[in-house]
Structure 1
């Protein structure tokens, strides 16, 4: 059973077994926040009786569905720019932050034992470094038992905000990556095999010995996967956790960015995890079904008020309270056909 189907069965029962209630909410998109949205939805249904049917189909699919108006909200880890938002008639706001983490399947090493520099990580995903005992990796890991084993790169097969965050980072730290591959939600990978969703990448890495992939941190932790230490901009080799994600977001100017589109990769700070990102909600600015839009915003308002503890427990970083207030104010630009705001 896929993650998307699990969510439909466990929290979308009202939609799959009976006619949808008026207050049931539909959403689709990013797999990055899926574990948290699933938990929030379960808690929200217990509090209010209102269900959420969220399909974890990737950021690209979420953008397509909200643009086509087939869902109440889309979800993307790639922030859309001002021109993209205006063209599609969308508004955008972040919900939480988290980290994208390189994970490996190496029997001879412990979690966090392998250290990778930005150049090493880029060269592995470029296919330039093909074995784990390559001299370049060995120089950075003199004490590690590196196997004479081929490296299998695992990447996303679908359009993905997680890929957008990952390739945004690689484009910042590797000119070779920037010119040959670039920064998109879907790219032409130089090497490797593709898995659908964070869950698909995690499953491939768990099955293929000698593999390396990238997943959202919650997937790495829940699946007990071996992460690497990654060297950040300050030169420190950093563990991924909520502390290093917060450090990356410490100086972000959310209010000053159009559509709150802050990019948190390769941030300064000795404790900052270098592949940190936010995840975003997309909604139509002009609503054909204003009551549904109001219900969706009630859900996110509840999540901002009561969901931080759950977010932290699941290794996401909540938005600062002052940013939440700015976000709530921004909801007033979402209107019905009579130009009346759906959120007051």
Structure 2
């Protein structure tokens, strides 16, 4: 199991045409577990390149929003984008960092990664407790060539406030009227069935340990924990595999400027190849920086990640942001971030 860890990240480099200096100030961040694998790799690469550091705690999106609101960290991370009125009330700037996919994972003897096929309505009915057995006709009819056990389904969900849960429940609410009416969507919901694990790490660990279980995690957690993910039927009616290509197909529909803080939701997107539970993950930081050096250092790290970390993101099956999007983010940094009433970035 991937351990929840404190990342060593760093800060300071050229940003666009302007120079933003950052000293060796320690930077703190906290939040989403969904991007933890890529943040961890970016952190390691960046520290090797610069030797500078910041601490990132993988505690879940709900915790990330709480920490940044309380001003106990320099940046928060959330997969559930904050609404415009929230950002304005608190005085936060929000921007996307990377795109990835949430995948159903199962522990069924003999079922290989990518073999099982599920639809959104079937997944919703499993999590509603309506489908209780793996050999239920609703599942078996989708998988006539897969031997499914006459065993009870062990449902695993998140126990903490989670952006991954927001994307998961947002998708289920879009494809299942019953789910929308009875459960709805959010970082935390009242689960009709199952048991909770903390973080993507906790859900992955439970599914790996519990036979005949099903859970949902960011794709990198499925691969790194050798879990069997499933295909899911998308809006176009095609069963697709979770992979960088299918996440990118869904992300191609993103209309970033249509939402405050670029807070687009990418679930159930059209397109023949689109993965239906695709999500962006977001960074939030105060527009008015109490510690100018910390603000510059935070910006510098993400600028480096956009410039140097795209291939690494793709290697981990995330989707790096397109250049036109990162250009918009850099412009937002320059226009909105201040310290002592003066622009933070010269």
Fold equivalence (TM over 0.5)? yes
- What secondary structure does 1:287 align onto? coil
Matched, 1:34 2:36: yes
Which residue is 2:55 aligned to? 53
Q: Is the 8 A contact 2:9 2:301 kept in 1?
A: no
Q: In the alignment, what sits opposite 1:105?
A: 107
Trace 1:83-102 onto structure 2 (pairs within 5 A).
Answer: 83-102=85-104
Is 1:153 equivalent to 2:155 in the alignment?
yes
1:308 aligns with 2:316: no
Give distance in 1, aligned partners of 2:191 and 2:126: 12
State the alpha-carbon separation in 1 of the partners of residues 166 and 251 from structure 2: 18
Contact 1:289 1:336 in 2 (8 A): no
Q: Are the aligned partners of 1:334 and 1:343 in contact in 2 as well (CA < 8 Å)?
A: no
Structure 1 equivalent of residue 16 of structure 2: none
Deviation at 1:150, TM superposition (A): 0.4
The residue matched to 2:174 in structure 1 has which SS?
A: helix
- Mapping for residues 107-122 of structure 1, pairs under 5 Å: 107-122=109-124
SS at match of 2:141: helix
Alignment equivalent of 1:241, drawn from 230, 240, 243: 243
TM-score of the two chains, using structure 1 as the length reference: 0.94
TM-score (norm 2): 0.94
The equivalent residue for 1:3 is 3
Q: CA–CA distance in 1 between the matches of 2:32 and 2:264?
A: 17
Cα RMSD (Å): 1.5
Q: 1:203 Cα deviation (Å)? A: 0.3
Q: Secondary structure at the match of 2:171?
A: helix
Contact 2:103–2:229 (Cα < 8 Å) also in 1? yes
Q: Which residue of 2 aligns with 1:135?
A: 137
Alignment match, 1:319: 321
Q: 2:260 corresponds to which residue?
A: 258
CA offset digits 1:147-186 (Å, max 9, x no partner): 0010011000000000000000001001111111111000
User: 1:311 & 1:2 partners in 2: Cα distance?
Assistant: 18
Classify the secondary structure of the residue corresponding to 2:256.
Answer: coil
CA shift digits 1:261-287 (9 cap, x unpaired) = 111000000100000000000001111
Contact 1:30-1:160 within 8 A present in 2 as well: yes
Rounded Cα–Cα distance in structure 1 between residues aligned with 2:89 and 2:318:
31
List alignment gaps of at least 5 residues for structure 2.
11-22
Q: Is the 8 A contact 2:9 2:44 kept in 1?
A: no
> 1:245 offset after TM fit, Å?
0.2
Task: Answer with 136-145 or 186-195: which moved more.
Answer: 136-145
